[in-house]
Chain A
Amino acid sequence: MGCGASSASHNVSSSMSKPTGTASSSAEQKVVRRIISAALIPVESENSFTNMASWFDKVPEAPVDPILGLNAAFKADPAAHKLNLGVGAYRTEDGKPWVLSSVKRAEEIILNSGKYNKEYLPIDGLPEFNVASARLMFGEQLYEANAARIVTVQSLSGTGGLKIAADFIHKFMPHATVYISDPTWANHKSIMSLAGVPWKAYRYIDRATNGLDFGGMVADLDAAPDGSVVLLHSCAHNPTGVDPSTDQWATLADLVHRKGHFVLFDNAYQGFASGDLDRDAYSVRLFLQRGFQFIVTQSFAKNFGLYAERIGACNVITGNEREANCVRSQLKLISRATFSNPPIHGALIVSIVLSNAELTALWKSELKSMADRIIRMRQVGCPPNLALVSASSSPSSSSSSHHLLLFLLRLVALLVLFLRPDRPGSANMLLLLLCVVPAWTSLSECRLCIALDASRSCSIVSYGWVPVDRAATDSIVC
């Protein structure tokens, strides 16, 4: 077979049609009708090809994302006193984002070692990352014992891992309904809907106690058809923070076994919840140990502080090596048609840290410090009225209510001062000073915070002036 004459300059053949005035065919009539019916645009003539009707004029305005949209609203708010209690990203005591030193060291290695280029990763991601990620999730022993039947693919953080899982469930469990907790992370519902997987809710939180409604949860999962998919948060349930106890996890495992359910674990906070990586992995490892097949997604957004690098993994626990190979090939097809291959940067950072003993130790201590700060903030108890006021995220509190608050707090301080005389004299003096500072000084930009230990009625734990723009958790920061 030879190639003929050069094709570099095709003559534009006479079969090329120029737009003509005679709209005789039904197709052309349709085009004209469409232009006319789009009332926005005046039709000058049938030849008016510069004024085509818009393809997008029927596209409705979508609502702002309830979580991520809050960030934008916070930024846009000009008020001096505003609090952002929205997005789930760690903040230091100064209300700032925190880049871990272990991460910085890994980035330095990537930049300066000369070892790394920008070549495509395999479709299922950086192999060293995948192994390290699975080891972290399951622990050394369990991982070694089960490696052949575990499939790990790198994903675009937790969301991306869940999307891969949802697409896989849609393809290979087409009759399954996913059961998600009420409440759950809002995006879970969107992920399932986009993948075409129907979902239902199971009871989770007891809104009267803000504790786990375990009875309701068990009843609902028991009532679900056998072989349903159940989405469980492995630890640090989002948004409630309420987790089952180890006994309750055992009960859930029994239920899953009896009903033949398939579990999808969302594991976004390993190490970030308790500060202990193994402890936070308890539920997932229990299920692996018990011989279940399931999926667990991982996110390194919070525990490595790598939010925007979008680094995570999707682990599928299959029955054996043959199945694992088949499942891996199918997951790769999903990834290939979504993003081809995942981003390097976050994967390299995690893999460098986890392959280096010193960096791993540093990371673990930094992780623990983040978890500890969060726990500390929760433990600073507050009586209901103070907690209510300080936790308010209303960005536009008027100055008069602000002054009223200060007055009330000073009143409380006065009462405490005189009702608890067993305090050292210097503390009493300080309290007295705080009480008499007038509200209209520049300190009115601050809030007098008194943290009272609720377990020892009204004894002062701590007090101080707090700038109002400090991002607090659900407690007063003093």
Chain B
Amino acid sequence: MLQNVCKIAGRARSSGVPARFASVWAKVEKGPEDPILGVTVAFNKDTHADKINLGVGAYRDDNNKPFVLDCVRKAEQKIFEAKVDHEYTPIGGSAAFNKLAQSLVFGEESAAVKAKRIVTVQAISGTGALRVGADFMKRFVDVPLGPNGKKVVYVPQPTWGNHIPIYQDAGMDVKFYKYYNDKTCGLDFEGMANDLKTIPSQSIVLLHACAHNPTGVDPSPEQWKAISAICKEKGHFLFVDLAYQGFASGDPERDALAVRLLVQDGHNIGVSQSFAKNFGLYGERIGALSFVTASAEEAERVESQLKILIRPMYSNPPVYGARVVSEILASKELTSLWRTEVKVMADRIIDMRSSLRSLLKEFGSKRDWSHITNQIGMFCYSGMKPEEVDALARDHHVYLTRNGRISVAGITSKNVKHLAKSMVDVTKGL
């Protein structure tokens, strides 16, 4: 028997790579570099003392330092002292965390929450929630197929860059609906409404709940009502990306307004929730995915299918970030502290917007920069052209992405004057 086996396997003990392997790697091309990362790379290379990085997608304090929230530190201390283990969580994450995450988004008093018809599972931050949500919609949400024979997701123009590969990797096509008006640097509401009406009925539509990324342009409450009505009439399936709850206005309830309105209007929505910015827990990758269903029984079925999707992706989610968030939201004292701190972050952003706008005027720019304060959240679509952005980098050591997107988190009281002067210079006082 052994002889036969050896015969089959061959006695030759050569090392070296068989020729056929070369073809596998030869086909692998270098993937495109992340554009936002490119900004940081260029910034790091620059040795100028007054350089400013406006590409950063994380909050910075007024000294331009990363900020770990005090409520987080306190929660971590408690967790450490409790000497917890590292045992696997359930596939959908811990029930305690999921309940707290759900209440934060939908409100404890929500009828849907009380009726247990919302299913919430822990996710790998916002991206993970979007991805599992995408896989779920691909498998179960019955919408007409697009021209490529795939389900289509309609996203705003523009949207967060990563939305597109997430949906594509999940096997769906991405199309755009009008959103940003680059003449007004505000919302193209008519264009958006019209597109939502003319796309096929029962389409999947992605909405940003607040602090639209990358423009900072949000619909008003009245506009949200109108959007809800249009989508209802068309029977669209709505998926809401909520990455900045509390971080946009400083008020978590106010930032969840769109989500709660849609649920109240009877939409059964999907929601991706991130705790990266509002809890400063970026690298811990803590988020949640929710679906609002018709009944508690339906919610259970949906949950069972979400687990089937999660298990082959990563089996069960990382526990540490969930523990921190749970510790905070389960404690009145720590929740209160969190609310104070998230307001501090939001207020600093709002202050910097205000400072920048008034300084631009003070330094002689004739342009209307009101969109800087009209827009909300971490990002501001400045309206600057690619050539102006290049000039900012080249002549003033100010770095941002070429679409003119400023991360307001990178502005401080110490650098805002330099920034304003630079912007006035490259836009030639227009």
List residues of A whose CB falls within 8 A of some B CB.
1-10, 12-13, 15-19, 27-28, 30-31, 34, 40, 49-52, 54-65, 68, 71-72, 87, 89, 97-99, 103, 107-108, 111, 117-121, 123, 156-157, 159-160, 163, 167, 172-173, 187, 190-191, 193-194, 214-215, 218-219, 222, 226-227, 250-252, 254-255, 257-258, 260, 262, 289-293, 305-310, 318-319, 323, 325-327, 329-330, 332-334, 336-346
Contact = CB atoms under 8 A, between A and B. Distances in A.
A187 B307 CA distance: 12
A243 to B, nearest CB: 16
Interface in B147-202: 162, 165-166, 168-169, 181-187, 189-190, 193-194, 197, 200-202
B301 to A, nearest CB: 5
Given A159-B315, A293-B21, 7 more contacts: A1-B182, A54-B295, A56-B293, A71-B88, A118-B282, A260-B20, A310-B316
A265 to B, nearest CB: 16
B256 interface: no
Contact of A330 (B13, B31, B298): B31
Interface in B235-260: 235, 237
Contacts of A121: 283
Interface in B24-44: 24-34
B399 interface: no
A62 B88 contact: no
A477 to B, nearest CB: 20
A329 B31 contact: yes
B30 to A, nearest CB: 5
Interface of B: 1, 4-6, 8-18, 20-22, 24-34, 57-58, 66, 68, 72, 76-77, 80, 83, 85-91, 124-125, 127-128, 131, 135, 140-142, 162, 165-166, 168-169, 181-187, 189-190, 193-194, 197, 200-202, 217, 220, 222-223, 226, 229-230, 232-235, 237, 265-268, 276, 280-285, 291, 293-295, 298, 300-302, 304-305, 307-309, 311-321, 367-371, 374, 383, 385, 430
Contact of A159 (B32, B85, B302, B312): B312
Given A56-B301, A120-B283, A34 B181 contact: no
B202 A190 contact: no
Given A318-B25, A338-B128, A343-B318, A13 B189 contact: yes
23 contacts: A2-B368, A7-B184, A8-B374, A10-B220, A12-B189, A19-B233, A27-B200, A49-B265, A55-B142, A56-B293, A59-B305, A61-B300, A63-B304, A99-B86, A120-B276, A159-B313, A159-B314, A255-B10, A329-B32, A337-B168, A338-B127, A340-B162, A344-B284
A119 B313 contact: no
Contact of A329 (B27, B30, B68, B267): B30
Contact of B15 (A27, A98, A291): A291
Given A3-B371, A323-B28, A65 B186 contact: no
Nearest to A116: B68
A172 B283 contact: no
Main secondary structure on chain A at its contact with chain B?
loop
Given A68-B90, A339-B131, A260 B18 contact: yes
A332 B32 CA distance: 10
The 3 closest A-B pairs by CB, nearest first: A7-B186, A54-B294, A156-B314
Nearest to B128: A339
A59 B374 contact: no
A219 B87 CA distance: 40
Contact of A10 (B32, B86, B186, B281): B186
A336 B128 CA distance: 10
Given A118-B283, A326-B30, A339-B131, A251 B6 contact: yes
A340 B385 CA distance: 28
A51 B266 contact: yes
Contacts of A226: 20
Contact of A323 (B25, B125, B280): B25
Given A2-B430, A89-B88, A52 B232 contact: yes
B28 A172 contact: yes
Given A8-B374, A30-B201, A68-B90, A172 B27 contact: yes
A227 B235 contact: no
Given A13-B189, A18-B229, A305 B284 contact: no
Contacts of A17: 197, 229-230, 233
B31 A156 contact: no
A1 B282 CA distance: 36
Contact of B162 (A98, A334, A337): A337
Nearest to B371: A3
